[in-house]
Amino acid sequence: MWKKLIESVPNVSEGRDREAIAAMAAAMRAVPMVRLLDVQSDPDHHRTVFTLVGEPDGVVDALLALFASALPRIDLRRHRGEHPRMGAVDVVPLVPVRGVTMADCVALARRLGQEVWERFRVPVYLYGEAAARPERRDLAEIRKGEFEGFPDKIQRAEWAPDFGEPAVHPTAGVTAIGAREFLIAFNVNLGTSDLGVAKAIAKAVRGSSGGFRYVKALGISLAERGIVQVSVNLTNYKKTPIPRVLECIRREAARYGVSVVGTEIVGLVPQEALDQVAEYYLALERFSPDMVFERRVQEALG
């Protein structure tokens, strides 16, 4: 039905007030040509992650509706949570899904950034593939200092916003809007309680310290299970696939006499990424999505 499809996963700094979260979801649901797939709130992080898909224009309209709904409901001056944040609507990534290029998403991020500044007076930073400067590709670099540090940071010439004046919105801070590939959150659980092992392996596999280019990774403790976890974000599964990262983690763990006891995918995963796993471990000599029965049926039924 819809020929062009993009995904957006806006992160909002409200994870406790159910009514406020429901109001934001309702604001997006009211927009035509877009569907809200998922809402995940974390009270400890005091943060909610919405997943929406739709026609590009529908997604932009829904995101503007989210700003309109979130801004009067969130006051960052009173916000305390575990997750770092700099804005009421903290970050808005745009992801190409079907019939849309990364360049289209970059253009859309710029259009959205311009409108957010004009309508809501929230300064906007472009990040990821939409970044106008190389040091702004990495969201973590932009967010350094958080809401509390931004009144100073925004006045430094090198941190002038991409849209808007160098003055933080008093209650909503600043927002990062960007374009990126589908992000896969993939956790690998290790049969040890030694957090040092998880941290060492995370360092070995993440791109920033010499590991795989499209991997971000942290070592964390799963206290109630008495084990540790390498928590991985794959920012481009097409170029750094899940099984290659898992096998690298398995080898590193073996150096410490530790086993992989299980893995988890958090949130959604593209079918292509799972098919990649099957192709990798089966060592399939020829694989094409055309071989999947359901796809052939869907094509045949038009």
- For the bound state, the minimum distance from the C-beta of residue 17 to a second copy, rounded and expressed in Å, comes to 25
Closer by beta carbon to a second copy, 140 or else 265: 265
Provide the pairing of β-strand 260-266 with 227-234. unpaired
Cα separation, 142 vs 219, in Å, equals 23
Strands of 43-163, DSSP E: 47-54, 89-98, 124-128
Closer by beta carbon to a second copy, 157 or else 301: 301
- For the bound state, the minimum distance from the C-beta of residue 293 to a second copy, rounded and expressed in Å, comes to 4
Give me 247's structure tokens: 């096998």
Cα separation, 114 vs 211, in Å, equals 36
Closer by beta carbon to a second copy, 68 or else 274: 274
Give the number of other CB atoms < 10 A from CB of residue 71: 19
- For the bound state, the minimum distance from the C-beta of residue 234 to a second copy, rounded and expressed in Å, comes to 13
Q: What is the largest CA-CA distance in the chain?
A: 59
Cα separation, 214 vs 280, in Å, equals 18
Catalytic residue among 45, 79, 83, 169: 83
Reading phi first (left if > 0) and then psi (alpha if -120 to 50, else beta), residue 282 is in: alpha
Closer by beta carbon to a second copy, 72 or else 262: 262
| Residues found near a second copy in the complex (CB under 8 A) | 1-2, 5, 7, 35-38, 53, 97, 182, 189, 242-243, 246, 260-265, 267-271, 274-275, 277-278, 280-287, 291-297, 300-301
- For the bound state, the minimum distance from the C-beta of residue 301 to a second copy, rounded and expressed in Å, comes to 6
Cα separation, 271 vs 170, in Å, equals 42
Closer by beta carbon to a second copy, 27 or else 227: 227
- For the bound state, the minimum distance from the C-beta of residue 34 to a second copy, rounded and expressed in Å, comes to 9
Residues linked to residue 6 through DSSP beta bridges, in sequence order: 54, 96
Sign of the alpha-carbon torsion through 219, 179, 171, 173 = positive
Give me 225's structure tokens: 């299970």
Closer by beta carbon to a second copy, 65 or else 188: 188
- For the bound state, the minimum distance from the C-beta of residue 105 to a second copy, rounded and expressed in Å, comes to 16
- Give helix 102-120 / helix 56-70 axis angle, nearest 10°: 30
| Of residues 182, 218, 183, the one with CA closest to residue 202 | 218
Contact of 64 with 8, CB cutoff 8 Å: no
83 is catalytic: yes
Residues linked to residue 89 through DSSP beta bridges, in sequence order: 12
The residues annotated with a catalytic role in the active site are 83
